[in-house]
Amino acid sequence: MENMVNVYLFGKKYQVPAGLTIMTAMEYAGYDLVRGCGCRNGFCGACATIYRIKDKQELHACLACQTEVQEGMYIATLPFFPLVKQVYNIEKIKPTEQIMMQLYPEIYCCIGCNACTKACTQELNVMQYIAYAQRGEYEKCAEESFDCVMCGVCSSRCPAGISHPQVAMLARRLNGKYIAPECGHLADRVNEVNEGKFTSLIEDLMQKPIEELKELYNNREIEK
């Protein structure tokens, strides 16, 4: 007999094999998942879940696809959380402090409770990246928030009603577009392509017989 544990899916008790993830435990219990299941690899944030261990105080948040079941786990999935996303034109905004004030003024209502950080399923320092956003330090905000999967658990815990993942999304786009250094060789290459510099080179290859292409391929120089 496998080693079984008791879990409570939305309060209802099921016995499932130890070692399963919360997601596979739900499937073992007989759930056909539609909501709350996405990449099943920890990248997409579809399976945000909150749980508490029986008779313990602390509330935990996790991704169901990445978290092993434990004895006495009370589980509720959070397949959707209403985040506020402001609409903007990335070409028209600039990476100034004012843009955050205009789009997400509620970040200045942060009371420093750090509930967002404690709730983060990716173990990010959420309150810290919000502090960077408040100060207009978008490069730091982008770096600190980079692993965010936008599951929204942080926002579910926020007394100030901040939509942290959307704030971070804006900071990353501002950083990627305006603050990070421009790439010279990329612009040069796009110009060369547009001038048709490679057109005939590629057409030559397209017309070569397969045997000749095999020869070229097998003897091509490989950068160290």
Partner 1 sequence: MIVTKLRIGDANTMMAEGGIQAADKPNDSPAIHYLDAFGGGHFAAKPELLRKLVTNAPEAIQWLNKLGVEFDKEPDGTMITTHGGGTSRKRMHAAKDYSGAEIMRTLRDEVLNRGIPVIDFTAAVEIILDENGRASGAVLMNMETKELLVARAKTVVIATGGAGRLHYQGFPTSNHYGATADGLVLGYRVGAKLLYADTLQYHPTGAAYPEQIFGALVTEKVRSLGAKLVNIDGDVFMHPLETRDVTAASIIRECSERGKGIETDQGTAVWLDTPMIEYKNGEGTIEKRIPAMMRMFGKYGIDIRKEPILVYPTLHYQNGGLDITDDGMTGVENLYAAGEVVGGIHGRNRLMGNSLLDVIVFGRNAGINAAAKAKETAIPTSLTLKHIDTFNEELETTDSASGKASPMLLPSYARRK
Q: Which residues bind partner 1 (CB under 8 A)?
A: 19-21, 24, 27-35, 37-44, 46, 66-68, 85, 87-90, 122, 142, 146-147, 149-150, 169, 172-177, 180-187, 189-190, 193, 198, 201-203, 205-206, 210, 213-214, 216-218, 220-223
Nearer to partner 1, 159 or 176 (CB): 176
Helix boundaries (H) for 60-105: 97-103
**Which ranges of 104-183 would DSSP assign to H, the alpha helix?**
115-119, 126-134, 138-144, 153-156, 164-174
In angstroms, what is the minimal distance from the CB of 113 to partner 1? 25
Q: 60 or 172: whose CB is closer to partner 1?
A: 172
Residues 6+ apart with CB under 8 A from 119: 59, 61, 126, 153, 154, 156, 157
**Rounded Cα distance, 55 and 78, in Å:** 22
> With respect to partner 1, which residue has the nearer C-beta, 112 or 220?
220
Residue 43 or 108: the one with the smaller Cβ distance to partner 1 is: 43
Rank residues 111 and 210 by Cβ distance to partner 1 and give the closer one: 210
The nearest distance, CB 58 to partner 1, in angstroms, is 18
Taking the complex as a whole, the smallest distance from the CB of residue 109 to partner 1 amounts, in Å, to 23
Amino acid at 104: Y
We find the least distance from the C-beta atom of residue 164 to partner 1, in angstroms, to be 14
Concatenate the DSSP letters of all residues of 192-211 into one string: HHHTTTTHHHHHHHHHS-HH
- Give the gyration radius of the chain's Cα atoms: 25
CB of 115 to partner 1, least distance (A): 22
| Beta strands, E only, the chain | 4-9, 12-17, 48-53, 59-63, 73-77
